[in-house]
Structure 1
Amino acid sequence: MSDTERVTTEEAPRTDNPYSQGVRAGETLYVSGYGPVDPDTDGVVDGDVGDRTDRVLENVASVVSEAGGDGLADVVKVTVYLTDLDDYEAVNEAYGARFDGDPPTRVCVEVSRLPGDVDVEMDAIAYLG
């Protein structure tokens, strides 16, 4: 792993768990999974699943920006994890509002549980070339 760089920012939630917020490998940035946690309070944001989706994407954008990218504009792949697929449409609406023009590729899966008992989490890949 000689051509990799760990990316850390105070603008996204930090954790004591053994993982990096992001890892840049050449021009590709891999962003760890984020739930709807406000980095200033370390708490889950209030509101509905759309509000929580917006916070998740803000966390992802912060890591991309810290790595020298243009926030969500440089994201090429997202994986969305939901604890209830009945939230799919609301998440889709909030997600679509954040990606103007050409959205990245995406996968959405329902999972039984997420850390912190949140209902939505996303990880991402960005191209910074």
Structure 2
Amino acid sequence: MDFFGIGAALKAAFDIYFAAARHTGRSNTLADSVSEGDLVLFATHADLRWFRSLLDVRDPNRRVKLRVWSERDYPDIARTHVSGKVFMDHRLVEKLYDDALSRCAREIAMIERRQHSNECSRPNRDDLVVTLWRRDGL
């Protein structure tokens, strides 16, 4: 159990930051920053299409590689030849942090369940006293 509520506090802080950062021009800033040969990774196809439209308005001839990120496709993405920098769209960064926090919460819950099941399978102190009493003929 996250007795101190650290996970909930981190989740609340993330949510506040993510909400406050909406409509601040992050996508436009990224579109202005990428150069020919760069790779930009996205959380969804919709985000990729939106970004493509931003790039097309600025310079339709700029060759920037755009890919949707997935852990399953990571080997293919890792083999993508990039002559420039690798960027991640803000929604992908948010998703990766949120997923990591969720994995951590699941791991804490799993440890708690595992410990609980181990405690249930161990004899309690009273059972042990009765067993010793019978064994010793008391």
TM-score, with length taken from structure 1: 0.33
Structure number with greater Rg is 2
Greater strand proportion: 1
Greater helix proportion: 2
